[in-house]
Amino acid sequence: MKGKTWDELWPETGQDFSAICREVLRTGEAYHVHDELNKIQRSPDGPLEDAYFSWSLHRIKLSSDDKWGLLGTSWETTERIKAAQELLEKEIRFRSTLSNMIEGCQIIGYDWRYIFINASAELHNRRPNEELMGKRYMDMWPGIEETQVFYLIKDCLQNRRAHHFENEFTFPDETTGWFDLSIQPVPEGVFILSVDITERKKAENIILKLNEELEEKVKERTAQFEASNKELEAFSYSVSHDLRAPLRHINGYVDLLTQRFNDQLPEKAQHYLTTITNASKQMGTLIDDLLQFSRTGRKEVHREKTNMNKLLKEVLEDLKPDIGNRKVDWDIQNLPEIYVDNALLKQVWMNLIDNALKYTRNKEIVKISIGHYEENKHLVFYVHDNGVGFNMQYAHKLFGVFQRLHAQTEFEGTGIGLANVQRIIHKHSGQVWAEAEPDKGATFYFSLPKNKED
C-alpha cells in the first residue's frame, strides 16, 4: 500500500475521496464523518459484515519540507451503534406496553411539557393528543396551578416524591370527572397513572343519599362496600404479580449487557446500568410490600391470648442484624397479655420499631421507649424515639399507601409499612396515630380493645 495513491488502491471510491482530500488541503478545514456504514472482512476468509466507523481528515505541515499533507484518523463505533439500537428497541417495546394499557399513562417532562400520552389517557383528557403533545401542562389547562393536582406534580418533579390520591377534575367545557391518580418520579420527569372512577363516585354518592333516607339499609350497603373492597384487593394482588414479568426482563437484559459488553462500555454507560439495577431492586421491594399489603387486607383475624412481652422479644431478636453495633438505649415496660392475632401484631411491632431504628440512625445516642397505658376500655401501646421526627401538619399522610414524609435519598422505604400497620389495627377494632416534632423524635400509638369480645 505504501507509495500508492488512494485512487490506485480503491478506484471505486477514489474520485470522491480524492475530491475531499483536495478540499481539506485547499481550505485547511478538517473533514469529519460520523458512524458511516461499511462492509468489512474481519479476517481474510471471513464473511462480509456491517460495521460502523467514524473518521476525520486534518491538514498538517510535513516535517520533511514546506508542503502540506493530510492526517487521517478512524475508529470503529459498531458496538456503540448496536447498543443504541438495542436500547431503542427496548424503549419501543416499553412504550408499546404503556400505549396498550387500559389505565391512562402520561409522562410530563421537567419543563412541564407532555412527552407521552397513551390512548386511555387521551380519553381521560377528553381532547386529542395532538393538542397536548409538546405543550406545557399549565398552558393546556388554564387555572390548573391553583389545584392540588398541580401542587403534587410539582412536588414530585422537585422533590421526587410519589403521590396517590383521588381527584375531581373540571374540564374546559365545565364537565367533571373523577380519577384515581398515581404520580411517580421517572428519569424523564413525572409519570401519571390514571383510572377513571367517575362511575364509581356516582355510585358512592347514590349510596350516601340512600343512606340518609333509609338507615335500615346500612348493613346491606356495608356488605356491598366490603365486596367491592375485596375486588380491589384482588386486583391489587394481581397487578403486583403481573409487574414481576417486565421487571425480570429488565434485570435479564441489564445482566446480558453487563456480562457481554461491560469492558467496552464507557464509564457513564456503566453508571446508567447500575442505576437501572438499583431501581429494579427498589421496584422489587415495592412489589413485595404491595403483595404483603394485599395479603393483610384479605387475611382473617384469628384472636388468641398473646403474651406481648414474648412477642416483642421475638421482634427485637429478628431486628438484631439491622441494629448491628449501634448503641441503643432501650426503655421497655412490662406489657400485658391481650387477645389479638399473633402474626399480624408481630408485623405491627416490626414496622414501628424498624421505623424507630431507621429514623434515629443519624443520632449518636439512640433512645427508644416502648410501653402502654389504659384508656376507655382500650390498651394503648406506644413506641417513642428521639429521631428526626416530622411536622404534625403532615401527620394525616402518614398511614396512606405510598405516602412518605422524607425523601427516598434520606431514608429508604416504599411508603407501605405504616399503611399496613393501620390496616392490621383497624382489623382489631383499634386506632393508630402519631405525635412528633422535627428533630425531637416521634411517638407512634395504637389502641386495642381490652376485652376479648370487643
Beta-carbon contacts of 155 under 8 Å, excluding residues fewer than 6 positions away, are: 161, 163
Rounded CA gap, 262 and 250, in Å?
16
User: Domain check: are 403 and 304 in the same one?
Assistant: yes
User: Domain check: are 172 and 88 in the same one?
Assistant: yes
Query: Across the chain, which distance is largest between two alpha carbons, in Å?
Result: 109
- Is the residue at 1 inside a domain? no
User: Domain check: are 233 and 337 in the same one?
Assistant: no
398, 434 Cβ separation under 8 angstroms: yes
Q: Give the pLDDT score at 155.
A: 94
Pairing outcome for strands 442-449 and 378-385: antiparallel
User: Domain check: are 348 and 281 in the same one?
Assistant: no
User: Domain check: are 346 and 411 in the same one?
Assistant: yes
Q: Give the pLDDT score at 370.
A: 93
Q: Give the pLDDT score at 402.
A: 54
Q: Give the pLDDT score at 9.
A: 59
Q: Give the pLDDT score at 14.
A: 45
What sign results for the dihedral spanned by CA atoms 270, 271, 273, 277?
Answer: positive
CA geometry: angle at 199 spanning 197 and 203, to 5°?
A: 115
What sign results for the dihedral spanned by CA atoms 113, 116, 121, 126?
Answer: positive
CA geometry: angle at 202 spanning 233 and 118, to 5°?
A: 65
Neighbour-count burial for 232-263, b at 16+ CB within 10 Å, e otherwise: ebeebbeebeeeeeebeebbeebeebeeebee
User: Domain check: are 273 and 400 in the same one?
Assistant: no
Beta-carbon contacts of 36 under 8 Å, excluding residues fewer than 6 positions away, are: 52, 53, 54, 55
User: Domain check: are 304 and 390 in the same one?
Assistant: yes
Rounded CA gap, 114 and 108, in Å?
5
Rounded CA gap, 358 and 89, in Å?
41
Q: Give the pLDDT score at 346.
A: 86
For 9, 10, 132, 302, the CA distances from 5, given in Å and listed in that order, are: 6, 9, 58, 91
Amino acid at 173: D
User: Domain check: are 318 and 419 in the same one?
Assistant: yes
* Cα 190 versus chain centre, distance: 10
Q: Which domain holds residue 84?
A: 77-213
Domain boundary among 26, 45, 76: 76
Pairing outcome for strands 432-436 and 163-170: unpaired
The number of distinct structural domains making up the chain is 4
User: Domain check: are 69 and 84 in the same one?
Assistant: no
User: Domain check: are 277 and 388 in the same one?
Assistant: no
User: Domain check: are 202 and 327 in the same one?
Assistant: no
279, 101 Cβ separation under 8 angstroms: no
CATH of the domain at 115: 3.30.450.20
- Is the residue at 454 inside a domain? no
Beta-carbon contacts of 96 under 8 Å, excluding residues fewer than 6 positions away, are: none
Domain boundary among 30, 55, 76: 76
236, 296 Cβ separation under 8 angstroms: no
Q: Average pLDDT across each block of 10 residues of the chain; the chain has 454 residues. List them in order.
A: 62 65 88 86 84 88 78 86 77 67 88 91 88 92 90 93 90 88 91 91 86 72 69 65 72 81 81 78 66 63 86 88 82 90 86 85 86 90 88 72 52 66 86 86 90 62
Give the residue among 160, 120, 126, 158 at the shortest CA–CA distance from 140: 126
User: Domain check: are 445 and 303 in the same one?
Assistant: yes
Q: Give the pLDDT score at 407.
A: 47
Q: Give the pLDDT score at 29.
A: 92
436, 442 Cβ separation under 8 angstroms: yes
Domain boundary among 158, 187, 213: 213
